[in-house]
Structure 1
Amino acid sequence: MRTLFLLNPTAGKADCTRTLPQQINVAAARAGLAPEEYTIQVTNHAGHARELANAAAQQARQSGEELRVFTAGGDGTFNEALTGIYGYANAAVGCLPFGSGNDFLRTFGTKEEFLDLDAQLAGGPVSIDLMQTSLGLSATICAAGLDAQVAYGIPKFRRIPLCGGEMAYVLSIVEQLCGHIGRRVEYTIDGETLDVDCLMCAICNGRTYGGGFCAAPEAQPDDGWLDVYIIRKVSRVTIAKLLGMYKSGKHFQNGQLVRAAEPYFIYRRAKQVSLRAADGRGPIVATADGECAPKEQITVQVQPLAGRILLPKPALERFAAQRTAQSADRT
């Protein structure tokens, strides 16, 4: 087995390359890895993690080896590596959370578990669904509307001292609420067409985005379904009331919207979703795993069990236990 560590020095507020390589060397020795069995590389431009992961996956396949890729960065770095190994059954990607948001891991465990190098090296791979979107491959959530507009404003707030991922997200929301909000959008959800005056929508494989906002509290990343949440256009006062519910995931419980959320949310489970602006005001801004772009039309389709990820040992054991329990329930 080959192990590759990809370190992004620009992710988050601190350069992980200053101390992490030595920590990796110590953990690798404790795990019994010989120096020739693992490699540490530093990314130096956008897309570099994808290139390095893809090259390593090709080489490992040619030599008949399994490949583990651990990305030290944020969700964007993880997504790049996941895209790089896409289609390689011999490779899997894990996340060392050194970014600002680190939303991917929240579906599976805690940041502390994913920062534990011993637990990471003692863990293993699982298969999850992926989403093929108009912005590329995604493991978590593709959002459009106010969410994506907010994402444009996050970088400038992150430069403020002590303003991390969640706080930067909140401040960017406040800024957007001071401008024009809401769009009329046409949705096609597994053949059903909806014309909605909406604030935003989230098409979810994972549970959180935006530094911890729990859009899909019961999403299962390996069930072959997308959880779709559309938030109707509402007043600014109502947005403020909804924000706490949406952030904590209290809008959805036991497989359905809670009563307080029903007037404001539309919920569907789907295999494929597409949406386009129906108000003549130009493209809609969309975001997927940190990537943002204006699009005339956004399409998202589930790719069942198309991704292989690495989980640290505690998260791996919980994931396996949950799958076993769900299988028993179905029988």
Structure 2
Amino acid sequence: MKTLLIVNENAGRGKTKKRWPQFQHYLNALGIEHDVHLTAAPKEAIEVARMAGADQYSYVVAVGGDGTVNEVVNGIAGQKIAFGVLPAGTGNDFARMLNIPRDPRLAVRRLSDRNHTAVDLMEMNGQLVAGAIGIGFDGAIAEDINRTSWKKRVGPFGYVLSMLKLIFTFPPFTMHLKIDDRSFVFQNCWLVAVGNSKFYAGGMKICPDAKHDDGLLDVCIVHNMSPLQLLKLFPSAFSGNHVLHPNVMCLQGKKVRVLTDPAVPIHGDGEILGRTPSEILIRPQALTVV
């Protein structure tokens, strides 16, 4: 079985470039025959993965973080190719979702077992998302981080810095939300997160009940809070206890439509996807993962 590894050496604040020789050592030690493509530009992994089927690869492995995972997953969409990940990025929430170890030796050993599982994917306006989508305040944080390259290099600390920068200036919005055949209106909304995974932003359990193979979208809405209340709530998101707050609502469904006034930014797997309005669908068991 031919295996292609797509390596984003810039992922993980450049740590992937340092860790890649360790991964390659264990790949060779375990006798995993493979080809390697080192990406040199954003979105390059999409095109490389898209050509993998024509080159008769049976496995395509992303080496990097959640942004690399997102690109490769979009590239292999619709092809009969199994996907794998060797986590070397900043957040690694997709790998965390599947309990794939950060340790290079253990991660490569997991890859060598060739055990397959089917996972769901989300689709938003034609783009696939593997883990979670953030709309509103969280999308604005992602935009700020992407505008300030050094914040990417400091990992989760950069997320906190952007949050502190924006929390007193970001204007809460009105949201019209439709989940399947149910309609809701939320005033003074800060954010809505839609999760296929419970994790995002480097380990926050934003949708703590989300499962990657249940055919459902989990939706978390945060509304009617002051900036100081939101700031106080933030640490509890790492344990998932934020959902106990009376102004946090969790819902489930298979189709989510979001309309906001005004339009607000959206990220998926940490990548900027545009602004509302948006429609998000679940694609059950759309991806075979090693």
- TM > 0.5: yes
2:31 maps to which residue?
32
- Choose from 208, 231, 247 the match for 1:264: 247
Contact kept, 8 Å, 2:16 with 2:89, in 1: the verdict is no
Identity of aligned residues (%): 28
Q: 1:19, 1:141 → 2: CA distance?
A: 26
Q: 1:238, 1:135 → 2: CA distance?
A: 35
| Residue 50 of structure 2 is aligned to residue 54 of structure 1 | yes
2:185 maps to which residue?
195
- Report the CA distance shift for 1:144/1:222 in structure 2 as closer, same or farther (over 3 A): same
1:288 maps to which residue?
268
The alpha-carbon deviation at position 233 of structure 1 amounts to 2.8
- AA matched with 1:267: C
1:9 maps to which residue?
9
The alpha-carbon deviation at position 209 of structure 1 amounts to 1.0
- AA matched with 1:87: G
| Residue 95 of structure 2 is aligned to residue 99 of structure 1 | no
Q: Tell me which moved more, 228-237 or 163-172.
A: 163-172
Contact kept, 8 Å, 1:114 with 1:120, in 2: the verdict is no
Q: 2:206, 2:8 → 1: CA distance?
A: 27
The alpha-carbon deviation at position 14 of structure 1 amounts to 2.3
CA displacement, residues 257-313 of structure 1 (integer Å, 9 cap, x when unaligned): x3xx2x211221100001111x3x3x2211111221442411100001011222xxx
Helix, strand or coil: the match of 1:59?
A: coil
- Choose from 103, 118, 131 the match for 1:140: 131
CA displacement, residues 180-234 of structure 1 (integer Å, 9 cap, x when unaligned): 3310011111121111121100011011111221101221100101111111131
| Residue 164 of structure 2 is aligned to residue 174 of structure 1 | yes
1:125 maps to which residue?
116
CA displacement, residues 132-189 of structure 1 (integer Å, 9 cap, x when unaligned): 112710111111010100111224666269x632111111111111203310011111
- Report the CA distance shift for 1:99/1:28 in structure 2 as closer, same or farther (over 3 A): closer
- AA matched with 1:286: I
- Report the CA distance shift for 1:173/1:58 in structure 2 as closer, same or farther (over 3 A): same
| Residue 212 of structure 2 is aligned to residue 213 of structure 1 | no
Compute the TM-score of the two structures, normalised by the length of structure 1: 0.80
Over the residues paired in the alignment, what is the CA RMSD in angstroms?
Answer: 2.2
Q: 2:267, 2:91 → 1: CA distance?
A: 14
Compute the TM-score of the two structures, normalised by the length of structure 2: 0.91
Q: 1:15, 1:41 → 2: CA distance?
A: 17
- Choose from 140, 153, 174 the match for 1:184: 174
Q: Tell me which moved more, 297-306 or 133-142.
A: 133-142
The alpha-carbon deviation at position 19 of structure 1 amounts to 5.5
- Determine which structure has more spread, i.e. the larger CA radius of gyration: 1
Q: 1:23, 1:179 → 2: CA distance?
A: 44
- Choose from 37, 60, 63 the match for 1:69: 60
Contact kept, 8 Å, 1:5 with 1:70, in 2: the verdict is yes
- Choose from 239, 251, 256 the match for 2:230: 239
Contact kept, 8 Å, 1:158 with 1:168, in 2: the verdict is no
1:305 maps to which residue?
285
Contact kept, 8 Å, 1:140 with 1:206, in 2: the verdict is yes
Gap regions ≥5 residues in structure 1: 61-65, 253-257, 311-331
Contact kept, 8 Å, 1:166 with 1:212, in 2: the verdict is no
